[in-house]
């Protein structure tokens, strides 16, 4: 939560896990189906930062081709990383002493899970093309409010993305996916600008883009970090936003409805009623 009490001028949204269904749901479902310790895949992706296959893809430095999928699978198959994670998993799930868990992981850890990286990636992308049933309607009502009161509220998106191969079905936006993007005045895609969250540079870049929009429309002289509320489902992304002065709202997996309620409180705009948006005092 931000300590800022004034109403935000800019609402900055992540896309996956906020405006659309979280790709993490596909990961969770895969781990359950394959009996993989829950959290391993996300841990492995995060631990490969800053130059793992996933991070390179989201900065637009790699193509979605066979070599990339091989590199992604290699990141998910790192044995040293797996043993360290398995020790943490044992300590937590069995409430073991950390030292004992680490020793057991060294000598008795099961093989690194064999993950079908290519199938998993495309399943994540498929799931993330479905609008969130709570946040998406709220977003549309916020856009209606912004259109009725020009300059009072700017809607922007900051999303870690990938560029799909030409000709792939996901390279063509579906009506629903395109409609999500149309709700925003400014849309920043990591793979197209060569930066990704949680690095600070993409946040400052986004502030600059929103400032340009505000000036071009005659809504003011620009914006500062303090004018933003940022909604994301990943803690490290929110941590950077807080560090530079943005207000934040955490969107928990499967509980975007709670974030919508907090959004109403922070903005003073009712977005959950069927009658559309309205300002509240």
CATH of the domain at 263: 3.40.50.1000
Give me the pLDDT at residue 91, please. 80
Instruction: Spell out the SS3 assignment of 43-91.
Output: HHHHHCCCCCHHHHHHCCCCCCCHHHHHHHHHHCCCHHHHHHHHHHHHH
Give me the pLDDT at residue 105, please. 56
Query: Do both 33 and 118 map to the same domain?
Result: yes
Query: How does pLDDT run along the chain (281 residues), one tens digit per residue?
Result: 333 458 999 999 999 999 999 999 999 999 999 999 999 999 999 999 999 999 999 999 999 999 999 999 999 999 999 998 988 888 877 666 666 655 565 557 899 999 999 999 999 999 999 999 999 999 999 999 999 999 999 999 999 999 999 888 888 766 567 789 999 999 999 999 999 999 999 999 999 999 999 999 999 999 999 999 999 999 999 999 999 999 999 999 999 999 999 999 999 999 986 545 544 43
Give me the pLDDT at residue 162, please. 96
Query: Do both 171 and 192 map to the same domain?
Result: yes
In a domain, 5, yes or no: no
In a domain, 1, yes or no: no
Query: Do both 16 and 27 map to the same domain?
Result: no
Distance CA 280, CA 264 (A): 9
What pTM does this model have? 0.90
Q: Which of 85, 101, 125 is the last residue of a domain?
A: 125
Distance CA 211, CA 217 (A): 10
Distance CA 127, CA 122 (A): 9
**Pairing mode, strands 186-189 and 228-232:** unpaired
132's CB contacts (< 8 A; 6+ apart) are 18, 19, 20, 21, 256
Instruction: List Cα–Cα distances, 245 to 90, 119, 200, in angstroms.
Output: 38, 39, 11
Query: Do both 119 and 134 map to the same domain?
Result: no
Query: Do both 88 and 200 map to the same domain?
Result: no
Give the closest residue to 153 by CA, choosing from 260, 12, 5, 4: 12
Q: Which domain holds residue 135?
A: 10-21+130-279
Query: Do both 181 and 161 map to the same domain?
Result: yes
Q: Output phi, psi for 251, to 5 deg.
A: -105, 105
In a domain, 3, yes or no: no
In a domain, 62, yes or no: yes
Q: Which of 125, 140, 157 is the last residue of a domain?
A: 125
Give me the pLDDT at residue 168, please. 87
Query: Do both 67 and 148 map to the same domain?
Result: no
Query: Do both 117 and 156 map to the same domain?
Result: no
In a domain, 174, yes or no: yes
Give me the pLDDT at residue 249, please. 99
Give the closest residue to 102 by CA, choosing from 110, 111, 90: 90
Instruction: List Cα–Cα distances, 277 to 30, 132, 267, in angstroms.
Output: 38, 18, 11
Taking each continuous run of H as one helix and of E as one strand, the counts in the chain are: 13, 7
In a domain, 4, yes or no: no
Query: Do both 83 and 163 map to the same domain?
Result: no
In a domain, 202, yes or no: yes
Q: Which of 125, 140, 166 is the last residue of a domain?
A: 125
Query: Do both 171 and 40 map to the same domain?
Result: no
Give me the pLDDT at residue 1, please. 34
Q: CA 130 from chain center: how many Å?
A: 14
Query: Do both 69 and 15 map to the same domain?
Result: no
Distance CA 190, CA 58 (A): 6
Q: Tally the domains of the chain.
A: 2
- What sign has the CA pseudo-torsion 33, 39, 42, 48? negative
Query: Do both 137 and 225 map to the same domain?
Result: yes
């Amino acid at each position: 939560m931000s300590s800022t009490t004034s109403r935000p001028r800019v609402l900055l949204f992540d896309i996956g896990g906020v405006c659309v269904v979280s790709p993490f749901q596909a990961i969770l479902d895969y781990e359950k189906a394959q009996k993989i310790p829950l959290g391993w895949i996300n841990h492995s992706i995060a631990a490969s930062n800053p130059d793992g296959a996933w991070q390179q893809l989201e900065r637009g430095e790699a193509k979605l081709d066979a070599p990339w999928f091989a590199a992604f699978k290699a990141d998910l198959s790192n044995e040293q990383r797996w043993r360290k994670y398995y020790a943490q998993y044992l300590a937590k799930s069995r409430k073991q002493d950390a030292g004992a868990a680490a020793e057991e992981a060294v000598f008795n850890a099961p093989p690194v899970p064999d993950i079908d990286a290519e199938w998993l990636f495309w399943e994540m992308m498929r799931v993330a093309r479905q609008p969130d049933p709570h946040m998406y309607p709220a977003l549309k009502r916020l856009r209606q409010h912004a259109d009725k009161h020009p300059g009072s509220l700017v809607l922007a998106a900051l999303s870690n993305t990938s560029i799909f191969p030409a000709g792939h079905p996901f390279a063509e936006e579906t009506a629903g996916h395109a409609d999500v993007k149309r709700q925003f005045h400014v849309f920043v895609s990591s793979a197209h600008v060569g930066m990704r969250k949680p690095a600070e540079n993409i946040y400052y870049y986004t502030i600059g883009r929103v400032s340009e929009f505000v000036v071009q429309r005659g809504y003011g002289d620009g914006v500062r970090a303090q004018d933003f509320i940022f909604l994301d489902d990943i803690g490290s992304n929110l941590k950077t936003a807080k560090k530079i002065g943005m207000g934040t709202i955490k969107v928990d997996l499967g509980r975007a409805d709670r974030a919508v309620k907090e959004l109403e409180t922070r903005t003073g705009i009712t977005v959950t009623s069927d009658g559309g948006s309205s300002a509240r005092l």
